[in-house]
Structure 1
Amino acid sequence: MSLLVEIHVPLIEPEDPPDGPAFPWIDVVDEFLWELEESGELEVYDDGEQDGDVYVFFVAGAGEDALLAAASRVVALDGVPAGAVAFVTDDRAEEFGLGRRVELPVP
């Protein structure tokens, strides 16, 4: 069993949609998380995916404090909608959103 943090970001349609992808911040977050993985700070557990009205990113490979700090940095990225939360869980969870809910950013 491995510690896993799910980062749930609301899929809010922008008032003035950009040309191109509807949610360009998803690529920004993906790139940011892959950079953290390359630097050895954490592991991207799996590709992000839509789950209802949120987009979920998965990080692992570090302690809870480090993973929540990374999640807090994610929500501070340009264009990421307000209202993101994290769930501290493990790789055996059968559904998204199980585990302890943590408001982001973590103080």
Structure 2
Amino acid sequence: MESGRQPHPVDWIDEVQDFLAELEEGEEFDDGEEYGDVYVFFIAGADESTLLRAASRVATLEGVPPGASAMVTDDEAEEFGMGRRVDLPIA
């Protein structure tokens, strides 16, 4: 699936974006972006356990650096980055 985006200098980011672009119906992905010293990917559109399973699969993709986590939040959070942190992959 050709997205038209420019390749990122860190290959694993492209791999994650490709993986997330092919999520099951109902899960929505918006392109990732750098936020401070981390890279953030946004997924929504399904129940929390489904989204955490998808995030967990991302954390185990080859090349993804250790230390991945998910932030469980909603669009009513007072500011970006507010929510419950979940270390990945989940058991």
Q: TM-score, normalised by structure 1?
A: 0.73
Q: RMSD in angstroms over aligned alpha carbons?
A: 1.6
Tell me what 1:33 maps to. Answer: 20
Q: Which residue of the other structure, out of 64, 67, 71, is the alignment partner of 1:80?
A: 64
Answer whether contact 2:32 2:41 (CA < 8 A) is retained: yes
CA–CA separation in structure 1 for the residues paired with 2:78 and 2:9: 29
Answer whether contact 2:57 2:89 (CA < 8 A) is retained: yes
Q: Which residue of the other structure, out of 61, 86, 90, is the alignment partner of 1:102?
A: 86
Q: Which runs of 5+ in 2 are unaligned?
A: 1-6
Question: Which one has the bigger strand percentage?
Answer: 1
Answer whether contact 2:71 2:81 (CA < 8 A) is retained: yes
Q: Which runs of 5+ in 1 are unaligned?
A: 1-19
Q: Structure 1 vs Structure 2: percent identity of aligned residues?
A: 62
Q: Which residue of the other structure, out of 24, 47, 51, is the alignment partner of 2:11?
A: 24
